[in-house]
Chains A and B, each alone.
Chain A
Amino acid sequence: MKILLIGHGMVGHKFLEELAQLRQPGTEVTVLCEEPRAAYDRVHLSEFFAGKSADDLSLVAPGFFEDSGFTLRLNTRAVAIDRRARTVTTAGGEVLPYDKLVIATGSVPFVPPVQGNDRADCFVYRTIEDLEAMTAAGARSRSGVVVGGGLLGLECAKALRDLGLETHVVEFAPRLMAVQVDDDGGRILRGKIEELGVRVHTGRNTLEITDGARARHRMVFADGSHLEADMIVFSAGIRPQDILARQNALAVGARGGIAVDDQCRSSDPDIYAIGECAAWRDQLFGLVAPGYDMARVAARHITGQTEVAFGGADMSTKLKLMGVDVASIGDAQGRTPDSRSFRYMDECKRIYKKIVVSADGKQLLGAVLVGNADEYGTLLQMALNRIALPADPEFLILPASDGKAKPGLGVDALPDSAQICSCNNVSKGELCAAVAGGATTLGALKACTKAGATCGGCVPLVTQVMKAEMARLGMAVNNHLCEHFPYSRQELFHLIKVGGIKSFGELIARHGKGLGCDICKPTAASIFASCWNEFVLKQELASLQDSNDYFLGNIQKDGTYSVVPRMPGGEVTPDGLIAVGQVAKKYGLYTKVTGGARVDMFGARLEQLPAIWEELIAAGFESGHAYGKSLRTVKSCVGSTWCRYGVGDSVGLAVELENRYKGLRAPHKIKFGVSGCTRECAEAQGKDVGVIATEKGWNLYVCGNGGMKPRHAELLASDLDKETLVRLIDRFLMFYVRTADRLQRTSTWRDNLEGGLDYLKNVVVQDSLGLAAELEAQMAHVVATYQCEWKTAVTSPEVRKRFRTFVNDGRPDARIVFVEERGQIRPARAEERPAAMADSTTEMAV
């Protein structure tokens, strides 16, 4: 059977994935894709402005086409269908036969028919090419206007704002998001959007666009007023791309779109239509989830499963804008006869919440949430699953008082069939099965079910289901640190900080039991350091330190240690290099330039460490903390000082940042990178904190990782001056230090953060928790109390005494034996040891 698919967008690709999974032998699949690249995540298109590349957005798993045997033809547009001959003609004149044809051509943006809408620097917002063109225009513009104040228009306005433009939104209706919210909600939303620095003009009907006096364009409105801007983006709605159907006499819906039945078949049974181009019972769906459902139905029906059916979709939505929570569920406007509503409005905090309930008060019909959409998941499930409302439904949206918990939904109340993730159609039952199969972290659950991997809106609910199921299965959901403390690391941090606790003895007496262990002792030591920053080898603290911290060096496989002096930003003077070389030579150490852009010396015996460090300190070096769960390196590129492309002094900034944060103890190690321009030679986007110079300042990226599971860092804020940059990094790091689990790098911490990047931006940039001042103060304390641990150690005879191999004998450990390789030492391997040890003087009885 020859299957031909027209359109390789989000829904088209979902269709292919479904088809590949069904593994029908004898099917030959060809895909015509008009765009120059394979399917990508249009829902997250705006993240392109935040630094995501086309590759990051791609929906096609590596090897997908190779493994499935499907043929993808890029840059190929279908222009005609011959239904009798069952062929499709491409723009290049090729004629391709089909047995079954699937149309997934999506939508085209609607551009209002006003004079001048085709001027240069007028755009639509739909493809990566559109965004590339907008970025180019943005660079030579001061101001921009978005026509359309709906969901997409607001997202687009935010993007223009992030490009640094003076931004306006022009809306024909009297309020923003007219479809989803009511008048009061619209007013609150407007305030929120204006807070982002976007100017809102509602009730404006554009008549024409002409040359501007102070900017490139002038928009002239029906009321006689006008607005000038350098670029214009039309986001005034979408129209189904149904031209192929119209040309071939396939039935279309009342509002356009290829009319389809419950099996997604058009009026020609061999032609299916799915996604935004399809009209089901005259309804169009401008969201991805219903399209995905249609893709599943069509793929199954084509391969012979006749009982499948598309049953419509829920059109509840949540806006994914930073700092602005807006959600609408079901009958948000209260159009159901006799429905009643409850409203809560706080004009100071700009919060508006409304629920619409049935006449008998038993069922939730709809909701509007503006300014805070925390209840979205709960309310949505209540509406979708017709769960009986509590006696006083108003408490569902009223702010909790006296610390009383809100009436929760109780995920237990949900049937197994309840759809928890609508983007990926994952039900509660499927999540529970995955948990039983071992997916017991949010990350694992995302990876195996895809729940939460698209818009992220369902993540809080997915987490609840996961925890409830783990509890039901008797799995340890408790996040207790270990058997000695019934608390998570975050809770322990709080107890230590608030209780002013400075010793492990006091901590375990007040909040734990037993003697402690190799888990809780270093964790407590790290928290003490983050809070009070005392010398880590102080008597009460020393016994808590892991061997690496106790001896201020990384232990190696043979029991020797490595020595890593700090070289901030990777910068080192010739004299410094000579000194390092002399020390290495004198003590016979192996030397290597590390992946962290500094020099590591290996093979130091315990009793040699203080002398080695004394010499390094005399030469001006400090501890590089290569052993600590603390700041490691700030990698830099040469930047504007030398490089012909550099736009910022990346080395200067790297040195400054490294000196600021050196010694900061954290749940895990922290690495920075600073690049002088977007060529990114310092690989800043692979670091916990990455900074990239721009023409206007610095862009700040966070939560990147190399290591076992590489993760690209995400843009937290752009075009910052240095002071703001440092302030945001202070807050970010301290927030991480306070809330992460032990041994959780910023990347995994971020992946498990409920609310994701938006939440992080809210907390760090917008200070939504009101914590910023405290976080900054805590960092200021750590910075002010920095000491080079090695310097303190070598100058204290008490501490120095601890660096000895034997408590009762001055000789070195004769079991440590080296052989030579490439002109340097290395530990002898087991088979080389007998010969090597025969040379040594002490006899061993082992």
Chain B
Amino acid sequence: MTTAPSQHWTAVCSLTDILPGTGVCALVADRHIAIFRLAGDELYAIDNIDPRSGASVLSRGLVGNLGDQLVVASPLYKNHFDLRTGACLETPEHSVRSYPVRLSGDSVMVASG
């Protein structure tokens, strides 16, 4: 999550808007971005649209770990996405983008650039 200077950060919500261990979806410059809050208030962001179904649902999946990878399971077909990279574990061709995300005060910021 290094921040390139050209990136444009958008404040989307406050930390308390996201229940620990769950995700929400933000609309940032017409992109649907899933933002997850893990224990210790770590934040991760990937595309919200599940490439397999085309539905905007990834933020509604269950998060956890598989081995060393932090993942979310799509609520539709349970395929797993790496929260750090957006890689789909089962079908790499269904991988999605990941986005830089950080906390500024109480504000959750994403870079959608």
Contact = CB atoms under 8 A, between A and B. Distances in A.
A713 B54 CA distance: 40
Contacts of A515: 38-39, 63-65, 70
Given A806-B26, A845-B30, A555 B19 contact: no
A559 B57 contact: yes
A546 B60 CA distance: 8
A118 to B, nearest CB: 68
A811 interface: yes
Contact of A517 (B55, B56, B65): B65
B14 to A, nearest CB: 9
B21 A543 contact: yes
B18 interface: yes
B29 interface: yes
Interface string B32-66: 10010011000000000100011111001111111
B76 A807 contact: no
A63 interface: no
A663 interface: no
A516 B66 CA distance: 8
A806 B56 CA distance: 11
B12 to A, nearest CB: 5
A639 to B, nearest CB: 40
B31 A845 contact: yes
A807 B60 contact: no
Contacts of B32: 806, 813, 815
B57 A514 contact: no
B74 to A, nearest CB: 9
B94 interface: no
B55 A802 contact: no
Given A514-B65, A515-B65, A551-B60, A542 B78 contact: no
A547 interface: yes
Contacts of A547: 57, 60-62, 75
A522 B27 contact: no
A802 B22 CA distance: 11
B13 interface: yes
A546 B65 CA distance: 16
Nearest to B55: A559
A133 B14 CA distance: 77
Nearest to A802: B19
A543 B25 contact: no
A483 interface: yes
A112 B34 CA distance: 82
Contacts of B87: none
A551 B57 CA distance: 12
B12 A808 contact: yes
A824 interface: no
A809 B60 contact: no
Interface residues of B, number: 41
A283 to B, nearest CB: 59
A846 B78 CA distance: 22
Given A542-B19, A842-B30, A516 B56 contact: no
B88 interface: no
Contacts of B13: 807-808
A813 B31 CA distance: 11
Contacts of A522: 62
Contacts of A806: 25-27, 32
Nearest to A513: B65
A555 B66 CA distance: 24
B56 to A, nearest CB: 5
A522 to B, nearest CB: 7
Interface in A765-815: 802, 805-809, 811, 813, 815
Decide if the interface of chain A is mainly helix, strand, loop or mixed: loop
Contacts of A551: 60
Nearest to A815: B56
B90 interface: no
Contacts of A539: 19
Interface string A542-577: 111011101100010111000000000000000000
Contact of A514 (B30, B55, B64): B64
Nearest to B35: A807
A546 B57 CA distance: 12
Contacts of B57: 547, 555, 559
Contacts of B80: 518
Contact of B20 (A543, A805, A842): A543
B105 interface: no
A807 B107 CA distance: 13
A844 B39 CA distance: 32
B27 A811 contact: yes
A618 interface: no
B25 A805 contact: yes
B55 A558 contact: yes
Contact of B26 (A517, A807, A843): A807
A585 B100 CA distance: 43
A548 B71 CA distance: 19
Interface string A522-543: 1000000000000000010011
A842 B66 CA distance: 37
Contacts of B26: 806-809
A806 to B, nearest CB: 4
Contacts of B30: 842-845
Contact of A518 (B12, B55, B61): B61
B2 to A, nearest CB: 24
Interface in A419-447: none
B56 A555 contact: no
Nearest to A810: B27
A797 to B, nearest CB: 13
Interface string A802-846: 100111110101010000000000000010000000000011111
Interface string A711-748: 00000000000000000000000000000000000000
12 contacts: A517-B64, A517-B66, A517-B73, A518-B61, A559-B53, A559-B76, A802-B19, A807-B13, A807-B18, A809-B27, A844-B30, A845-B31
Given A805-B25, A830-B54, 13 more contacts: A483-B66, A515-B64, A516-B64, A517-B66, A517-B71, A542-B22, A543-B62, A546-B75, A558-B54, A559-B56, A806-B32, A815-B56, A842-B30
7 tightest A-B CB contacts, nearest first? A543-B21, A547-B75, A517-B64, A559-B55, A518-B73, A807-B24, A518-B62
